[in-house]
Amino acid sequence: MLATEIQEFAFAWYPVFGVVFMALLLFIFVKLLGSTIGKTKPEYVKASDTAPVLWEDVQGVDAAKDELMDVAAWLREPERFAALGARPPRGVLLYGPPGTGKTMLARAVAAQAGVDFFAASGSSFVEMFVGRGAARIRRLFKEARKSGRAVIFIDEIDAVGGHRSGGGGDGGTSEREQALNQLLVELDGFEKDPGTVIVIAASNNVDKLDEALLRPGRFDRQVLVAPPDRDGREAILRSHAKGKPLAADLDLTDVARKTTGMTGAQLANALNEAAIIAGRAGRFSMARADLDEALLRQAVGSQQARRLSTKERLIVAYHEAGHALSRKLLGLDPPEILSIVPRGPALGFVGHSPREDSYLKSRDELLDEVATLLAGRAAEEEVFGESYSGAADDLARVHMVCRQMAAEFGMGVALDHDGPPPIALPTKDYAVSDATRRDVDLASMTLARGAYRRARALLSANRECLDDLAAHALEHETLTREELDEIFAAHEMHGLAETHGSGAALVAMARERRE
């Protein structure tokens, strides 16, 4: 009887217990959600804190520093500019490749001006819950305004400031668009307190950003932060070499010459890697060999334990000898090293250093580069009578260069052999016809075939030097620039004057030598 009454009581109150339990869970969920929505913890650094980034610590980006000097001056002395009727920039967009020092520049502006520094990532404003990112932006700007004059730095602004879809979309898209709209509102709100807070943002690709973000009155100034030139690279190397013992044979000026295109982050990493290599070897200073090895690891990869067969080593030796010899014959930047030791995905490689930084290349120079890329395959077919799969990366680069020449640079060929080369052809535009795309393919293929014929003819005319290079590579595995120059000097070079012709003269010369 008692058990029956207990059972009836439980059945009667079971729905009530269920409702109370669900209400308790909902209450806990709302409290937890409310405690996190809108709250963000931006990295907050005061100019008086330890280890600030000083203006002189930022090396190799002098043009960008000049653009930002007046921003720091405005934050430090706003009255001087206000007396002239000048309006401060609302925002500054730093754009350029990764590792060029955009974050360091933003920190240096805050330190130079003596103001507070707030940093946040663009991805932190894009959350699953719609409205959460916008609330974080409001909180960030509120805290910055509360501190007085300050710098807000938004890294990777592409995550929140990309082109809007123009529709509702899914939850992630709506959240990102709401966060972007809130950022635009905050930038417009600077009219209330001009000059007190300046936003500095960083992007690797300015083309991805929404037009509304880039219009005057929001991000007024766009500053390119490009990879450093030779003097800039040397300054960066000397800055990061402070406190690191260098051997007498390590010349940082020469290192700067050989590292064209490298960013400040890559140079700093190379010096650190060289110090690790020296320490692993038990040395107390970094030698030239240590830094050369570090640079090779960055460019190609670390040495691999793959064992090649005798035939494979011979093929790789002739392949790399073809690359090195063609560079010499075509008068390009001389090869610094030839190696048939597998590194990373490569079975061998030829490294070269530019004589000087260059930003423009002629049509003939590009064709020389293409011929050099194809010289490895040409050497295989010249010696073995067939080709091998090791040239896949070379062929991919040839395809890219030739297609750019035909479609972007206006350096193609006249397919009817009667008119001038075609103009640049925007193949990414969907309005381009199939016939135009076919013309681009034919023009790029014609350029590649002509370059291959020249490479094959050059190697045929200098077969003895090619054989000598391959033999030394098989014996020593790695040849330095001095060793390569000795081999080149021991042979009479043929065909240097006809490098930009059709190759017929070189083919005739090669036949005469065989006869």
Query: What is residue 468's predicted lDDT score, i.e. its pLDDT?
Result: 94
Mean pLDDT across 269-287: 91
Residues 66, 145 within the same domain: yes
pTM of the full predicted structure? 0.76
Residue among 434, 439, 373 nearest 400 (CA)? 373
Contacts of 80 (CB under 8 A, 6+ apart): 73
356 in active site:
no
| Residues 388 and 291 both lie in one domain | no
Inter-residue contact 107 to 53 (CB < 8 Å): yes
Q: Are 240 and 234 in contact (CB under 8 A)?
A: no
CATH number at residue 435: 1.20.58.760
pLDDT band at 476 (very low <50, low <70, confident <90, very high): very high
> 326 and 413 share a domain?
yes
Look at residue 40 and give its three-state secondary structure.
coil
- Residue 37 pLDDT greater than 50, yes or no: no
What pLDDT, in 10s, does the model give residues 296-339?
A: 888 888 877 778 889 999 999 999 999 999 999 998 888 989 99
Question: Which domain range does residue 347 map to?
Answer: 310-514
d(CA 22, CA 28): 10
Rounded Cα gap, residues 342 and 308, in angstroms: 9
- The answer to the question of residue 237 being in a domain is yes
How many domains does the chain divide into? 4
Would you call 209 helix, strand, or coil by DSSP? strand
56 and 32 share one domain: no
**Catalytic residue among 67, 175, 177, 320, which?**
320
Query: Which of 216-225, 234-243, 506-515 has the lowest average pLDDT?
Result: 506-515
> Does 250 fall in a domain?
yes
**Residue 127, in any domain of the structure:** yes
Kindly tell me if the per-residue pLDDT of 3 is higher than 60: no
Q: Per DSSP, which regions of 122-227 are E strands?
A: 150-155, 197-203, 219-224
Based on the domain organization, do 374 and 501 belong to the same domain? yes
Say whether both 346 and 488 belong to one domain: yes
The answer to whether residue 427 sits within a structural domain is yes
Q: Which amino acid is at 362?
A: S
- The domain boundary, picked from 193, 224, 255, lies at 224
Residue at 155: amino acid letter: D
Q: Is residue 401 scored above 90 in pLDDT?
A: yes
Could you tell me if 105 and 193 lie in one domain? Answer: yes
**Are residue 288 and residue 363 in the same domain, yes or no?**
no
Given 299, 330, 358, the domain boundary residue is 299
How many percent of the chain have pLDDT more than 90? 26
pLDDT of 271 reads 92
pLDDT in tens, 413-424: 655 444 444 555
Q: Is residue 185 part of a domain?
A: yes
Q: Flag whether 304 is in a domain.
A: no
The enclosing domain of 71 has a CATH number of: 3.40.50.300
- Over range 45-59, report the average pLDDT: 67
Helix ranges (H only) for 189-309 are: 211-214, 230-240, 252-258, 264-280, 288-299
Domain membership of residue 305 (yes or no) is no
Q: Of 137-141, 287-291, 308-312, 509-513, which gets the smallest average pLDDT?
A: 509-513
Query: Are 115 and 68 in the same domain?
Result: yes
CA distance 515 to 507: 12
Residue 87 pLDDT exceeds 70: yes
Q: 275 and 316 share a domain?
A: no
Render pLDDT for 225-239 as a digit per residue (tens, 0 to 9): 999 989 999 999 998
pLDDT of residue 127: 65
